[in-house]
Amino acid sequence: MALSKKKIIAIISVTGVLFSILLIIQFIWIKRSVEVSRKQFENKMDVVKFHVRQALHDDKNLNTLLKPVSFQQNLFQGNDKRREIDSSLLFMLDSVFKSQDVYMPCKVSGVLNASCYIHNFTAGAKHNYDLDSAMFKICLCRTSKYYLDIGISFPEIDKYMLKDNSWLILPSFLLIASLIALFIFIIQIINKQKSLAELKNDFINNLTHEFNTPLFSIGLTSKLLLNNDTIQNSERLKKYTELINEEKNKLQLQVNKMLQLAAIESGSVLMEKKPVDMHKLIEKNIAGFIAAVEEKGGSLQYHADAALHYVNGDEVHLNNVISNLLDNAYKYSDDSPEILIATYNTDTDFVVAISDKGIGISDEAMKMIFDKFYREKRGDIHDVKGFGLGLSYVKKIIDMHDGSVKVKSHKNEGAVFIIHLPYKN
């Protein structure tokens, strides 16, 4: 079944929204995972701070280099006078980092002061902006006999956090990329199928229109022949001519069905809705079928129990719906047809149920019974004529009347078609 442009747009829109939600969920999970990793790293740095204090306390050589100062001295800024202190502190930090499995490039800053820079910074004092902006600040004033504060920053921490969570990011990216590629592929298939369906419909429509001209000629010729005295005087010729006209009418009926379906699908058909007495419409169809049913030794029962039996609809199309369902009930009964038509009301609808005790419908066929051109396979047997248009037409017409049609059936147990139409009081 070809998808309309509106349905394709709806599918793309819904899928786009779902993809957006999926992307947001994945982003949130990745963000939370990175936040957890960062929190774990911060906890690790708390341990690092403890070991830095311990290492400074135990490093006699470094403590020898540190001397009391009366003014602020900034470390790690390339000052030759403090180069040895800088090197010793960096060596100590590197040893601690390795012992705690911290292998991330870092930037170190520090202050040697007459008082604690971190906790006792006073207005007017000189700022050390590297230390001020450091991610982790370590006060070593209590550890040593001098006022030493250092700061540690990790410029590439975000990169390392993402790398640490690559086990989550990479599969998520591959999954989303695969889904997007699959979605694009499906849309391409849908568009291709839609184009093929439109091409098929155009071909069928052109073909049925081409049939109309020869059918008209055949019908006109057969009628002229039937009025000819020579044909009327020969039973054999009269029978052949009537057979030609009868088969022409059958083919014309199928062509008209195809044209009607094409008009409905294209949206060009106009419904001439008015109050329709469904009981009279059903009775008219029964009158046309009863002779054929009784000829096969069958029965056609009618229970008109609906008190409200007027609906607002197109009488011609509703008549075709009832005729199609009665024709199916008759054709798909192997022996003597037993057909029952019952009408009743619900709170909002007029309901007509047409049931038979024929060959029934398999569970597999039930899923496609209203599809255009679908006919249930019966091996190589083609004893029931038709193109599989009747039930598709029924479904479309009932939908256009804001109603519904359902079928209940099992193989070899007959079928019941139930139509709901909003009634007009």
The one-letter code for the residue type at 286 is I
Burial of 68 (0-12, 13-18, 19+ CB in 10 A): exposed
- For the range 265-268, what are the long-range contacts, defined as Cβ-Cβ under 8 Å and sequence gap of 24 or more? 265/201, 265/396
Q: Is 29 exposed, middle or buried (0-12, 13-18, 19+ CB in 10 A)?
A: middle
Residue 266 identity: S
* Domain regions of the chain by residue span: 5-164, 188-266, 273-422
Q: Tell me, what's the pLDDT at 255? A: 76
Written as six digits, the tokens of 111 are: 């202050």
- Long-range Cβ contacts of 328-333 (<8 Å, 24+ apart): 328/390, 328/391, 328/417, 329/354, 329/355, 329/356, 329/358, 329/415, 330/289, 330/292, 330/293, 330/356, 331/384, 331/386, 332/356, 332/358, 332/359, 332/384, 332/415, 333/296, 333/298, 333/357, 333/358, 333/359
Res 382: pLDDT: 46
Per-residue pLDDT in tens (0 to 9) along the chain, 425 residues: 555 667 777 877 888 888 888 888 888 888 888 888 889 999 999 999 999 988 888 888 887 787 777 778 888 888 777 888 889 899 999 999 999 888 889 999 988 886 788 887 655 567 888 888 899 998 887 665 678 889 999 998 888 888 888 877 788 888 888 888 888 888 888 778 777 777 777 777 777 677 777 877 887 888 888 788 777 888 888 888 888 888 887 787 777 777 766 666 666 567 788 999 999 999 998 988 888 888 888 889 999 999 999 999 988 889 889 988 998 888 888 778 889 999 999 999 999 999 998 888 887 888 888 777 666 665 444 455 555 677 888 888 899 899 999 999 888 888 999 999 998 65
**pLDDT at site 168:** 77
Report the largest interatomic distance among the alpha carbons of the chain, rounded to a whole angstrom: 141
What's the confidence (pLDDT) of residue 381? Answer: 43
pLDDT at residue 388, as a whole number: 63
Distance, in Å, from the CA atom of 415 to the CA atom of 407, rounded to the nearest integer, reads: 7
Q: For residue 92, give both structure tokens.
A: 């100590």
Q: At 376, phi and psi to the nearest 5?
A: -70, 135
Cα–Cα distance between 211 and 347 in angstroms, integer?
46
> Topology of domain 273-422, per CATH?
Heat Shock Protein 90 (3.30.565)
pLDDT value at residue 416: 92
Distance CA 290, CA 288 (A): 6
> Which residues, in sequence order, are CB contacts of 326 under 8 Å at separation 6+?
285, 286, 289, 339, 341, 354
Question: Is 345 within 8 Å of 306 (Cβ atoms)?
Answer: yes
Fold (topology level) of 188-266:
Helix Hairpins (1.10.287)
pTM greater than 0.75 (yes/no): no
273 residue type, one letter:
K
* Rounded Cα gap, residues 46 and 50, in angstroms: 7
